[in-house]
Amino acid sequence: MNATTSLTTDINPTQAAGEMIPSVAVDRIIAQRNSGIATFLQAIALLQKAREQLLSASGKTYFPDFNRIIEYSLSSPVATEQDKIRRNISRAADREVWQRLMNDTGMFTLMSTKQRDAWDTSLYSDACPEISLDNVLATFKNLHANKADTFEQGLIDVFRSLSWDYKTNNPCCLGKKIILNGMVSSFQDKFYSLGSYGQTRINDLARPFWILDGKNVPDFRVSEGARFSEFMSRGPKQVNQLFTCEYFTIKAFKIGTAHIVFTRPELVDKINDIVARRFPGALPPAV
């Protein structure tokens, strides 16, 4: 048996029985392969471009959930799931863009701790507001229009959160000193930090003082809370050290409390007028 016969027999073993073997369009298969690779590379380039654009819009170097959304989208039939795919990427993008806008414009200055918590919750829900010029302007206008009520409510929220287990905390009014719980967190008693919750509570307390003193409320990025957070980040030696603000001093302790002593008693009297107006003839419930 010559080489040609042997090769033919190996490739086409049923030929000896007289059966027909359908022809294979090798050139078409190769063309599909090449086209698929080219399309894949184009898609990757487009996805990389999309990620760069979304990162640019958010002002960050990492876009959370990008890979997960791609994986979900690839496993979903585009014809029936296109709206859901669009919602997924839109919510992820809008969440990051809202955070950038609120930070860069200083709008978080106009939010109390509870409002900030509610806002963060909404961003990670199906009710995340869509980014559009109308929505952004409406949000900013609403925050500005209600800032007086927001600042007052933030103060009341701090007052209501006071623990009456401390004798220095008066359930009727603010005294010379108050003690706030849960302000400082620690890691192995070597590193102490003031989280965002601690920052916003200090800001809630400070804002009415600025207004009653006839001054502009500082941007949240340079507020009392932000400055005290930076103070605590310098190292464990900052625990038990006195930090001085415009209207009070703060001293943090290892158990997580912050002792605040007011330095403008005439403004404290005005603050207590606000407390009395919000609780006429009744004491706020103990926490």
Percent of the chain predicted with pLDDT > 90? 75
Q: Given this model, what pLDDT does residue 76 score? A: 84
pLDDT tens digits along 166-198: 999 998 899 999 999 999 988 877 788 888 889
pLDDT at 2 over 90: no
pLDDT at 285 over 60: no
**80 or 83, greater pLDDT:** 83
pLDDT at 5 over 50: no
Q: Delimit the domains of the chain by residue range.
A: 40-145, 147-278
Q: Given this model, what pLDDT does residue 12 score? A: 52
Cα 199 to Cα 18, 140, 184, 195, 225: the distances in Å are 86, 22, 10, 6, 4
Helix (H, G, I), strand (E, B) or coil at 216: coil
pLDDT at 77 over 70: yes
Task: Measure the CA–CA gap between 70 and 85, rounded to whole angstroms.
Answer: 9
pLDDT at 13 over 70: no
pLDDT average, residue stretch 24-49? 95
Nearest Cα residue to 162 out of 287, 247, 24, 72: 287
pLDDT at 233 over 60: yes
Q: If pLDDT is split at 50, 70 and 90, which confidence band does 163 have? A: very high
Task: Measure the CA–CA gap between 63 and 108, rounded to whole angstroms.
Answer: 22
Q: If pLDDT is split at 50, 70 and 90, which confidence band does 94 have? A: very high
Q: What does pTM read for this prediction?
A: 0.81
Task: Measure the CA–CA gap between 72 and 86, rounded to whole angstroms.
Answer: 12
pLDDT at 257 over 50: yes
What's at 228, amino acid-wise? F
Q: Residue 159: what are its φ and ψ, rounded to 5°? A: -60, -45
> Contact, 157 vs 204, CB < 8 A?
yes
How high is the mean pLDDT of the chain? 89
pLDDT at 278 over 90: no
**Long-range CB pairs of 259-268, under 8 A, 24+ apart, other chains included:** 259/177, 259/178, 259/179, 260/177, 260/178, 260/179, 260/180, 260/205, 261/176, 261/177, 262/174, 262/176, 262/177, 264/209, 264/213, 265/176, 267/209, 267/212, 267/213, 268/174, 268/176
Task: Measure the CA–CA gap between 127 and 223, rounded to whole angstroms.
Answer: 30
pLDDT tens digits along 109-147: 999 999 999 999 999 999 999 999 999 999 999 999 999
